[in-house]
C-alpha cells in the first residue's frame, strides 16, 4: 500500500500528461500499481467486518427467552450455562457472560440526601499531619448546612501543654 503522498504524486503526474510508463520510471513503482492508483482502486476501504460464528449462536433464542422470563430480576450466568450445557453447549462461561452483559439492566442506587437546617449540625475531627520530624495536629469542623469548613493547626507540644493546664 502506498502512502497518500505517493498516490497523489501518481495522479499529479498523470494530469501533467505523463504516460503510465513514464510515471512508472519516475516513481519506481510497477505498472500494475500505477494503473491501480489511477483507476482509484488504491484507496483503503475498511468497513465493519462480518460477525464471526460462535458456539453461542444456536442458543441465543433460548437465552433471550430466559432473560425475558426473569425480568426484572436476573439469572446468574452460572445457572444459565448449566441449562444450555444440558442442551449441548460446549463453550465457556466468559463468552456467555460477554453476551449477557449487554442485556443486564444496571439499577442506579437511589440518592438519599441528608440535609439539616442551619445551625443544627456540625461534624468535627482531629487528625495528625506529619511534617518532617515535627508533628502537627489539625482540628477540622464542617457545618452540615453550608459545608463551611474551619481548620485550626496546633503543634503537638503546644497541644499537650494546654491540655495539662
pLDDT in tens, 19-66: 999 999 999 999 999 998 888 766 666 788 888 888 999 999 999 999
Q: Structural domain boundaries of the chain?
A: 4-38, 57-101, 122-164
Measured between alpha carbons, how far is 120 from 143 in angstroms, rounded to an integer? 9
pTM for the model: 0.42
Backbone φ, ψ for residue 159 (5° rounding): -65, -45
pLDDT at 27: 92
Residue whose C-alpha is closest to residue 71's, from 105, 120, 28, 31: 105
Amino acid at each position: 500500500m502506498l502512502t497518500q503522498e505517493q498516490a497523489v504524486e501518481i495522479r499529479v503526474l498523470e494530469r501533467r500528461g505523463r504516460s503510465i510508463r513514464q510515471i512508472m520510471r519516475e516513481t519506481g513503482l510497477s505498472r500494475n500499481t500505477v494503473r491501480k492508483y489511477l483507476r482509484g482502486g488504491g484507496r483503503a476501504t475498511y468497513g465493519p467486518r462480518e460477525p464471526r460464528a460462535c458456539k453461542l449462536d444456536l442458543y441465543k433464542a433460548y437465552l433471550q427467552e430466559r432473560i425475558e422470563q426473569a425480568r426484572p430480576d436476573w439469572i446468574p450466568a452460572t445457572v444459565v450455562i448449566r441449562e444450555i450445557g444440558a442442551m449441548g453447549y460446549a463453550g465457556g462461561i466468559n463468552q456467555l457472560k460477554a453476551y449477557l452483559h449487554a442485556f443486564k439492566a444496571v439499577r442506579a442506587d437511589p440518592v438519599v440526601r441528608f440535609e439539616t437546617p442551619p445551625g443544627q449540625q456540625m461534624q468535627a475531627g482531629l487528625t495528625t499531619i506529619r511534617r518532617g520530624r515535627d508533628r502537627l495536629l489539625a482540628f477540622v469542623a464542617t457545618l452540615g448546612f453550608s459545608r463551611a469548613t474551619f481548620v485550626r493547626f496546633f503543634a503537638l507540644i503546644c497541644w499537650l501543654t494546654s491540655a495539662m493546664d
